[in-house]
């Protein structure tokens, strides 16, 4: 059943985010946007949209860069100036913008 295998691969590709990562995103999104049923649906839609655009590994790397930037300090300066780090953050921001257009 080649079609079934292909469908499984596509489904896995779009669902490679762990449940805990999705829940963390939704909790943070709701803390920012309000705690209502509508916001829950919008925030859930948002992480689903991001997951369809950005593989989890890149999402995790971008979140790490952002976290390191918030930490500050001399050792963290590389996260502010490295092109590769900036590209990761840019990709995440684009995915978030797309998710906002689609979901909010």
* pLDDT per position as a tens digit, 51-76: 999 999 999 999 999 988 887 666 66
d(CA 6, CA 66): 34
Q: What is the pLDDT of residues 9-24, one digit of tens each?
A: 665 665 789 999 999 9
Long-range contact pairs involving 33-38 (C-beta distance under 8 Å, separation at least 24)? 33/104
Query: Is there a contact between 86 and 69 (Cβ–Cβ < 8 Å)?
Result: no
Using N-to-C axis directions, what is the helix angle for 37-53 and 19-33, rounded to 10°? 130
Stated pTM of the model: 0.80
Q: What angle do CA 86, 41, 56 make, to 5 degrees?
A: 35
């Amino acid at each position: 059943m080649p079609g079934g295998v292909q469908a499984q691969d596509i489904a896995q590709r779009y669902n490679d985010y762990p449940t805990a990562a999705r829940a963390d995103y939704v909790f943070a999104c709701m803390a920012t946007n309000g705690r209502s049923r509508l916001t829950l649906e919008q925030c859930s839609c948002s992480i689903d949209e991001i997951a369809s655009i950005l593989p989890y590994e890149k999402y995790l790397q971008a979140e790490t860069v952002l976290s390191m930037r918030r930490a500050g300090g001399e050792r963290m300066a590389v996260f502010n100036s490295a092109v590769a780090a900036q590209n990761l953050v840019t990709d995440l921001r684009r995915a978030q913008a797309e998710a906002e257009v689609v979901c909010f």
